[in-house]
Structure 1
Amino acid sequence: MNENAYAQVNQGVPFQKRTNFRWKVALLMFGAIAINYLDRSNLSAAAPVIMKEFHFSATEMGFIMSAFFFSYTLFQIPSGWLADRLGQRLVLGGAVAWWSAATMLIGLCNNFISFIVSRIFLGIGEAAAYPSNAGVTAKWFPDRERARATVIFDCGNKFGTAFAMPFIVWLMVHYGWKTPFIISGLIGFVWVALWWLYYTDPEKSKYANQAEIDYIRNGQQLKEGIGGKASLKWYQLLRYRNIRAMCIGFFMSNYAIYFYITWFPTYLVQARGMSLIKMGFVAMIPPLVALTVGLISAAIADWLYARGIPKTKVRKINLVGGMLVGSSIALAGFIQTDVGAVALLTLSYSGLACSGPALWTLPGDVAPRNMTSTVGALQNCVSNIGGILGPIVTGYIVSTTHSFVPALIITGAATLIGALNYAFYLGEVKHIEVD
């Protein structure tokens, strides 16, 4: 009989075996992020075909890709605030429905402006995904399980990116480039139905018993979402050094990650001379390996924390080590063989995946009471300025130099700066205390 059982018996309460519904919640969050990245990766996979059909230059395609990030960035803080105020059930469910409809509309685009507008609408909807998931994790998981819970939903981006490529390419080859947008939009609506059917906050859940709720709450230093309102205005968070460090570091990480989400397929086709079919399968390799590495690194992080290693040290192992390995992307352009280049890019993406669990665990680690989604939204807002700049800068460099090498070097330098930021500027990882 475990400690909880003894406590229940001593209090005259019949023993109740603890449910584990929180891990089903983690799978729902995983599904949301997988669909999120499937929908935003559609354009990357279809970019070579769209550029040829509509005669778009690399610079024009860079602006189309980055249009998503303008609205995605702008709506981070409002969506995080709404998630904290109205609840993640309503906000995330509505967001997935919105961006699924926007994805289907992209299949109707036929000129530069329509692509820009559709991508802007896609970004508005997708802005709520990560901030909402950060809040859900803070409500549903004890501190010692948050790295694993975070990496489960964060791995959705690798899964969505990996399986998007062969799936989208197969659909494009057989049914045209518009079909993948319609199919992936329909998948999103299926997820919305499941979310509304199963998700509520822990105390309201029909699927989590009291033993599981007690286990969650007793394992939290700060009990998120149990009454009360936000402790600060969102902009007041920037007074704190750790918040600034989180924003800077995530900016540098996203600058690198979005190379894989936007330009990587085109790099394989144009710089490495791969066919669309070959590109579709080769583009799976970095995110699939990164997914596995991310899961292992999160398990190790939770294991270290459970054994008394200070939270600050555990988080920095992931952040600094992962970002340092991620900077190896700068060397990929100098590798002559396709196998060597893909191997190095896979190593870099895997390093970035190691930092992922800590990146999205930090909001729950440092946020004031009832502000986890807001903190997550703030750091994601700043980080996605990298998503705006990255595709444009890479597109401009490729257009002017006809080479991806300078763009890869700049991306590696950004990742190295991110590692130094987490090593020296990020302080002790603890909750912000507000009078």
Structure 2
Amino acid sequence: MTVGLLLSDYMSRQVLNAVFPLLKDAWHLTDTRLGSLSSVVALMVGVLTFPLSVLADRWGRVKSIALMASLWSLATLGCAISTNYGEMLLARAFVGIGEAAYGSVGIAVVLSVFPARLRSTLTGTFMAGGAFGSVLGMALGGAVSAHLGWRAAFGAMACLGIVLVVLYRSVINEKRLMPLKSMNTGEQQENLGIRMNFRALMHGLFSSKSVVCAYIGSGIHLLVPAAVWAWMPSVLNRYYAMAPGEAAVCAAVFVLVTGLGMIVCGNLADRLNRTAPHRKWLTAIAFCIACFTLLGIAFRLPAGPWQLVLIGAGMFFSAGASGPSGAMVANLTPPSIHASAFATLTLANNLLGLAPAAILTGFIADRIGLLGALQLVALAPLAAAVAFLIGRRNYAHDLGRLDAMRKHALT
């Protein structure tokens, strides 16, 4: 059910990309304005994810999830009835407010009921749910808009979200989750985190160089998938002469490849590094370098099959470091503040990657063309690799210090 709502989250967020060409023609928008409609969601998520996640830790994660999903669904309905750019921008901002803390609270619920040894796999798989939701949002949105118009596409996503909220609230509650949480010893041992003061919370979230590097590397490396997800329908429409509906469905394939890559890369990181968890940093670096190399070549090729194949290969690795970086954050922070820790990770992901991706690409595209803009965006994984390399150098020391602090607190 939690993953189902995550699908709805990203369906509501990414349906916009499927109708970019239609909105551009209907309201005569520049690429910068089109990008802002996508980026404003990630911006609101980035700004509000931390305070709302802290509130969710105190108020109750299940109730918070239901409230957030209700808000983003109603805001998506508001997008369907928007009559101009300003109204659409406001509605999209409220979509972001509703989605702000869902990723961090949702993954905290999932991690609380599974063993710690599966954290990379779980984190990568959960975050891949965002990719699959984006696939459904773009594909279904493109199909619906082709037959019924772009307003119907937003309306369909809103209705699905409302139905899932009703189902979630009727099935899931904190009482049902408690027996599952008891199997995860860390959740029981450190249950005092709810009463943690602000200074102690900040210390727990930013206690080491390596956890800060995990936040930064994760955020920067997501600049590429966010930009390509937002603009791939437009690339296919402009450079491959596809109709908007067809372009949206084809672009969804690249999003699907990204999601599959997140799952495979997360599982691979766990399997390859089962006896040496510190090597997960090297795995994350390898994924970033593979993405940079493949996309750097792809966006310099002329339009054609080879370009699409290399873009697909690059997108497979583009979010591959999500699992390892999420596992590092979980390992380097106390379990009782995992919702807040993943809120911080979400903050970094949005402010450093997801929020600037669409509008920055659009701003550059207005000046040098869309392919030229994507060529520059493909440099981001190199910067992420540097952050992960610094984190790896400090990881063993920081993890040992955290373990010592936990033992001292228990005694």
TM-score, normalising length: structure 2: 0.89
Give the distance between the partners of 2:322 and 2:48, measured in 1 at CA. 22
| SS class of match (1:428) | helix
Give the distance between the partners of 1:354 and 1:340, measured in 2 at CA. 22
Q: CA deviation at 1:39?
A: 0.6
2:176 matches 1:205? yes
Give the distance between the partners of 2:76 and 2:98, measured in 1 at CA. 10
Partner residue in 2 for 1:5? none
| SS class of match (1:186) | helix
Of 140, 159, 165, the match for 1:192: 165
Query: Pairwise mapping of residues 76-155 of structure 1 onto structure 2 (< 5 A)?
Result: 76-155=49-128
Partner residue in 2 for 1:345? 311
The one-letter code sitting in structure 2 at the alignment partner of 1:114 is: E
Contact 2:361 / 2:377 at 8 angstroms: preserved in 1? no
**1:223–1:316 CA distance, 2 compared to 1 (3 A):** farther
Q: CA deviation at 1:231?
A: 6.3
2:225 matches 1:257? yes
**1:357–1:166 CA distance, 2 compared to 1 (3 A):** same
**1:134–1:312 CA distance, 2 compared to 1 (3 A):** farther
The one-letter code sitting in structure 1 at the alignment partner of 2:108 is: G
Contact 2:290 / 2:314 at 8 angstroms: preserved in 1? yes
Query: Pairwise mapping of residues 28-67 of structure 1 onto structure 2 (< 5 A)?
Result: 28-67=1-40
The one-letter code sitting in structure 2 at the alignment partner of 1:412 is: A
| SS class of match (2:321) | helix
Partner residue in 2 for 1:418? 384
Contact 1:139 / 1:225 at 8 angstroms: preserved in 2? no
Q: CA deviation at 1:420?
A: 1.9
Greater gyration radius: 1
Give the distance between the partners of 2:22 and 2:181, measured in 1 at CA. 50
Structure 1 residue ranges without an equivalent (≥5): 1-27
Contact 1:172 / 1:178 at 8 angstroms: preserved in 2? yes
2:240 matches 1:275? no
> Is the helix fraction higher in 1 or 2?
2
**1:179–1:44 CA distance, 2 compared to 1 (3 A):** same
Partner residue in 1 for 2:295? 329
| SS class of match (1:140) | coil
Contact 2:299 / 2:307 at 8 angstroms: preserved in 1? yes
Give the distance between the partners of 2:202 and 2:90, measured in 1 at CA. 28
Q: CA deviation at 1:428?
A: 1.6
Query: Pairwise mapping of residues 403-414 of structure 1 onto structure 2 (< 5 A)?
Result: 403-414=369-380
Give the distance between the partners of 2:63 and 2:114, measured in 1 at CA. 20
Structure 2 residue ranges without an equivalent (≥5): none
**1:232–1:169 CA distance, 2 compared to 1 (3 A):** same
Q: CA deviation at 1:413?
A: 1.3
Q: CA deviation at 1:100?
A: 0.6
Q: CA deviation at 1:262?
A: 1.7
Give the distance between the partners of 1:240 and 1:89, measured in 2 at CA. 30
Q: CA deviation at 1:89?
A: 0.5
**1:420–1:222 CA distance, 2 compared to 1 (3 A):** farther
Partner residue in 2 for 1:162? 135
Query: Pairwise mapping of residues 293-304 of structure 1 onto structure 2 (< 5 A)?
Result: 293-304=261-272
Give the distance between the partners of 2:220 and 2:30, measured in 1 at CA. 26
Of 397, 412, 419, the match for 2:364: 397
Q: CA deviation at 1:311?
A: 1.9
Give the distance between the partners of 1:224 and 1:275, measured in 2 at CA. 55
Give the distance between the partners of 1:264 and 1:335, measured in 2 at CA. 15
Q: CA deviation at 1:321?
A: 1.9
2:358 matches 1:387? no
Contact 2:262 / 2:323 at 8 angstroms: preserved in 1? yes
2:338 matches 1:372? yes
Give the distance between the partners of 2:124 and 2:206, measured in 1 at CA. 26
Alignment RMSD, CA only?
Answer: 2.4
The one-letter code sitting in structure 2 at the alignment partner of 1:162 is: V
Partner residue in 1 for 2:214? 246
Give the distance between the partners of 1:44 and 1:348, measured in 2 at CA. 20
Give the distance between the partners of 2:283 and 2:130, measured in 1 at CA. 18
Comparing 410-419 with 273-282, which one deviates more in the overlay? 273-282
Give the distance between the partners of 2:258 and 2:363, measured in 1 at CA. 28
Q: CA deviation at 1:97?
A: 0.8
Q: CA deviation at 1:173?
A: 1.4
Q: CA deviation at 1:319?
A: 1.6
Contact 1:332 / 1:408 at 8 angstroms: preserved in 2? no
Q: CA deviation at 1:221?
A: 8.8
Give the distance between the partners of 2:310 and 2:331, measured in 1 at CA. 32
**1:352–1:221 CA distance, 2 compared to 1 (3 A):** farther
**1:396–1:117 CA distance, 2 compared to 1 (3 A):** same
Cα deviation digits, residues 248-276 of structure 1 (max 9, x gap): 11221221121133222112212332222
**1:36–1:338 CA distance, 2 compared to 1 (3 A):** farther
| SS class of match (1:205) | helix
Give the distance between the partners of 1:320 and 1:222, measured in 2 at CA. 34
Cα deviation digits, residues 289-318 of structure 1 (max 9, x gap): 23333323333333345x5x12221x3244
| SS class of match (1:334) | coil
Q: CA deviation at 1:222?
A: 8.0
TM-score, normalising length: structure 1: 0.84
Contact 2:61 / 2:105 at 8 angstroms: preserved in 1? yes
Partner residue in 1 for 2:42? 69
Contact 2:258 / 2:315 at 8 angstroms: preserved in 1? yes
Cα deviation digits, residues 45-85 of structure 1 (max 9, x gap): 11110110011111221222222222121101112211221
Give the distance between the partners of 2:30 and 2:102, measured in 1 at CA. 31
